[in-house]
């Protein structure tokens, strides 16, 4: 177990941890990946697991007719989802506890699509890596157990797309080559409409396979590395980053009409007033997504936040304070006169967004045992969240924190 020491402030974006610290009025971001690499979830030295077998798949499925009213999910990497002996652990948790949903990577931080997607662009970009050989069969099995299935897509952090389409990639001002963050990962420009359409196409294909919801992560600008050297081929630096994401969120809403969608945002958006330098503002997601998922991991808040020397040691208070703030902002958004008028318009595309946070089920800043995980779940419920999702990059969850069924 590793403890986070010092006056550090962390925000999270799905597969990555972002440390934010202040010293002498200087603010910087640093990136520490929590991405689950193949080596972390598969047998050592065998990235192409022998359990992952190709073969003919069944027909695409339909979404659940009666999805759970309140989603309670765990996250699975594509490697785990494609490895039966590993995935069975998660299915068993869903069978025996209150868990009723599983979030599965279909396009992760590597940029590879994890199943045999039927998409010309993915073929041209050589963006397929078949980690889940029979995605339709997998969805059917989960649906047969009344398990809600969510497809997770990493959007603008996409080394595969950046390599295949360097004209869409963030560039280095110094040498004109593809810019990379502190983990040596490349990004595409968040203002690239071709990148938007490509990810929308992936989302449509996943929805067509029977996924019940599409979850979007890394919907932001880069936050670490030498940002002064980052050159964006499409984004006009004179315009706020926030405006770019506002346009992208609206596009997702319009293009994926009728498909449940969700957005992963930094936990800081629940209390922050600006766009954090990455373009994310909580209210901009409201109305465009069915679920908004702030990543309010207690270990990722600065010492002193909410009056706690070590926020990680106070999971209930941190989650409750964060989500109550988000809930008030959600109420204010839908109570606004302009929003009400838009909703009352019969042609309105405004969605009724609900809050559904990501919660911590990994050791960082404190030992996260059943009591710590359960405290977050209780806080989320008391803050009137519409369910929750547990994140552990290694997909090992604390079953004792969950209600048995």
pLDDT tier for residue 250 given thresholds of 50, 70 and 90:
very high
* Residue 3 maps to a domain: no
* Residue 100 maps to a domain: yes
What CATH number does residue 315 fall under? Answer: 3.20.20.70
Give the tens place of pLDDT for each residue, 381-401.
999 999 999 999 999 999 999
DSSP character string of 213-259? EEEEE--S---SS-GGGEE-SS--TTS-HHHHHHHHHHHHHHHTTTS
DSSP character string of 303-327? TTGGG-SSGGG-HHHHHHHHHHHHH
* Residue 63 maps to a domain: no
The lowest-confidence range among 51-55, 85-89, 245-249, 312-316 is 51-55
* Residue 53 maps to a domain: no
Backbone region of residue 395 per phi and psi (left: phi > 0; alpha: psi in -120 to 50; beta: other values): left
* Residue 110 maps to a domain: yes
Residue 300 contacts residue 11 (beta carbons within 8 Å): yes
Q: What is the mean pLDDT of residues 307-329?
A: 96
Q: What is the pLDDT of residue 342?
A: 78
* Residue 64 maps to a domain: no
Alpha-carbon distance 318 to 300, whole Å?
A: 10
Q: What is the pLDDT of residue 321?
A: 97
The residue written with tokens 């196409």 in the block is 201
Q: What is the pLDDT of residue 233?
A: 97
Count structural domains, the chain.
Answer: 1
Going by DSSP bridges, is the β-strand pair 230-231/291-295 parallel, antiparallel, or unpaired?
unpaired
Alpha-carbon distance 177 to 166, whole Å?
A: 9
R_g of the chain, CA atoms, integer Å: 20
Distances (CA, A) of 182 to 25, 223, 264, 304: 22, 10, 21, 27
Q: Is residue 26 scored above 50 in pLDDT?
A: no
State both tokens at 405: 């069924």
pLDDT tier for residue 89 given thresholds of 50, 70 and 90:
very high
Going by DSSP bridges, is the β-strand pair 26-33/16-23 parallel, antiparallel, or unpaired?
antiparallel
Residue 131 contacts residue 81 (beta carbons within 8 Å): yes
Cβ contacts of 269-273, under 8 Å, gap ≥ 24 = 269/294, 269/326, 270/294, 270/296, 270/322, 270/323, 270/325, 270/326, 270/329, 271/321, 271/322, 271/325
What single DSSP character describes residue 169?
A: B
Distances (CA, A) of 48 to 19, 34, 118, 147, 273: 33, 21, 22, 27, 45
* Residue 75 maps to a domain: yes
Q: Is residue 374 scored above 90 in pLDDT?
A: yes
State both tokens at 198: 């490509």
* Residue 347 maps to a domain: yes
Distances (CA, A) of 229 to 171, 224, 235: 8, 11, 14
The residue written with tokens 């659940």 in the block is 64
* Range among 33-47, 50-64, 298-312, 341-355 rated most confident: 298-312
Structural domain for 396, as ranges: 9-47+69-401
Q: What percent of the chain has pLDDT over 70?
A: 86
Helix (H, G, I), strand (E, B) or coil at 193: helix
The residue written with tokens 């020397």 in the block is 309
Between 245 and 301, the higher pLDDT residue = 245
Going by DSSP bridges, is the β-strand pair 213-217/261-266 parallel, antiparallel, or unpaired?
parallel
Show Cβ contacts of residue 184 under 8 Å, excluding neighbours closer than 6 positions: none
Give the tens place of pLDDT for each residue, 341-368.
777 776 678 999 999 999 999 999 999 9
Residue 137 contacts residue 58 (beta carbons within 8 Å): yes
Q: What is the pLDDT of residue 343?
A: 75
Alpha-carbon distance 80 to 90, whole Å?
A: 9
């Amino acid at each position: 177990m590793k403890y986070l020491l010092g006056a550090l402030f962390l925000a999270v974006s799905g597969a990555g941890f972002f440390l934010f610290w202040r010293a002498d009025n200087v603010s910087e971001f640093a990136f520490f990946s929590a991405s689950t690499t193949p080596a972390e979830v598969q047998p050592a030295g065998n990235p192409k697991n022998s359990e992952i077998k190709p073969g003919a798949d069944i027909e695409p499925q339909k979404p659940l007719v009666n999805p759970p009213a309140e989603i309670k999910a765990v996250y699975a990497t594509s490697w785990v989802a494609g490895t039966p002996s590993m995935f069975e652990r998660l299915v068993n948790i869903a069978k025996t506890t209150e868990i009723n949903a599983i979030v599965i990577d279909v396009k992760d931080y590597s940029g590879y699509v994890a199943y045999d997607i039927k998409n010309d662009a993915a073929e041209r970009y050589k963006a397929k890596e078949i980690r889940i050989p029979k995605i339709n069969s997998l969805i059917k099995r989960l649906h047969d157990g009344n398990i809600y299935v969510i497809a997770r897509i990493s959007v603008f952090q996409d080394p595969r797309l950046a390599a295949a389409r360097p004209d869409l990639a963030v560039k280095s001002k110094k040498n004109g080559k593809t810019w990379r963050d502190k983990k040596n990962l490349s990004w595409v420009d968040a203002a690239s409409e071709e990148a938007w359409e490509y990810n929308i196409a992936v989302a449509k294909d996943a929805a067509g396979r029977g996924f019940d919801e599409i979850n979007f992560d890394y919907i932001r600008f880069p936050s670490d590395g030498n940002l002064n050297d980052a050159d964006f081929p499409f984004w006009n630096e004179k315009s706020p980053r926030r405006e770019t994401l506002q346009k992208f969120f609206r596009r997702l809403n319009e293009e994926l009409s009728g498909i449940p969608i969700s957005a992963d945002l930094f936990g800081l958006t629940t209390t922050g007033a600006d766009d954090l330098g990455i373009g994310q503002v909580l209210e901009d997601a409201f109305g465009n997504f069915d679920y908004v998922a702030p990543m309010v991991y207690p270990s990722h808040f600065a010492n002193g936040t909410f009056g706690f020397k070590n926020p990680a040691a106070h999971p209930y208070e941190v989650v409750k304070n964060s989500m109550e703030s988000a809930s008030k902002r959600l109420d204010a958004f839908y109570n606004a006169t302009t929003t009400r008028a838009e909703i009352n318009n019969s042609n309105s595309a405004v969605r009724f967004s609900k809050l559904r946070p990501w919660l911590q089920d990994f050791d960082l800043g404190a030992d996260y045992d059943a009591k710590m995980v359960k405290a977050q779940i209780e806080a989320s419920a008391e803050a009137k969240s519409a369910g929750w999702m547990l994140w552990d990059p290694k997909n090992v969850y604390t079953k004792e924190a969950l209600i048995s069924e």
